[in-house]
Structure 1
Amino acid sequence: MLLDLYGTNRDSRSWHEPQRFAPERFAHWNGSAFNFITQGGGDSASGHRCPGERLAIELLKASLCMLTRHMEYAVPAQDLRIDPSRMPAQPESQLVISDVRRVAQ
């Protein structure tokens, strides 16, 4: 069995304009553990949660901070179409970045 994260995250019944990158749509998120497919739903003390959830969250936070605050790079033109019949679904050219440089602190 495969979970279709690509399709679920682009379901127009759940998201207005699901193909558009719109981080502001989460500005008023109610904090419910059941809004996203992540590490399981429910209370971590009494429900099903992934034992590595805290580590995964901290790694994501550190990675996003590095990518958005501590380095600069260019994303050249490339084929970012995704074939939904392929697992794992990924852009045709994967994701190519160039001119990677550290941002002075």
Structure 2
Amino acid sequence: MDYKPGKLEFPKMIQRDGEIKLEGRLMTPNTWLIFSILGLDGEWLELPVKDWENFSDFSKLCKFATKIKVVNDIVERGIKLIQDFIGNSHVEEQRQCLLQVVEYHR
């Protein structure tokens, strides 16, 4: 299966007949990437949530999800960029100008 990175399109929440419902696709081919990587079949997804704990695949996914380290590279790069700019200027007015240029450029 071909997995393409990109921004997620979340389903829309609508109110119908006094209930809030989700409209749109919740599962896409990209949803199965983690299942493919971990070698899981996801058969338990069709069962009630209360029964998921009985499946070893679910336990494996939970263990992976709680152990994985998540980083936000974009934010970290942005912070490093600002720190470098601020470190190179010693006058407050110069710092403010540099920050405005960086903000405008982004």
* Same fold, TM-score > 0.5, yes or no: no
TM-score range, shorter chain: under 0.3
Q: Which has the higher helix share?
A: 2
TM-score of the pair, normalised by structure 2: 0.25
TM (norm. structure 1) is: 0.25
* Bigger CA radius of gyration: 2
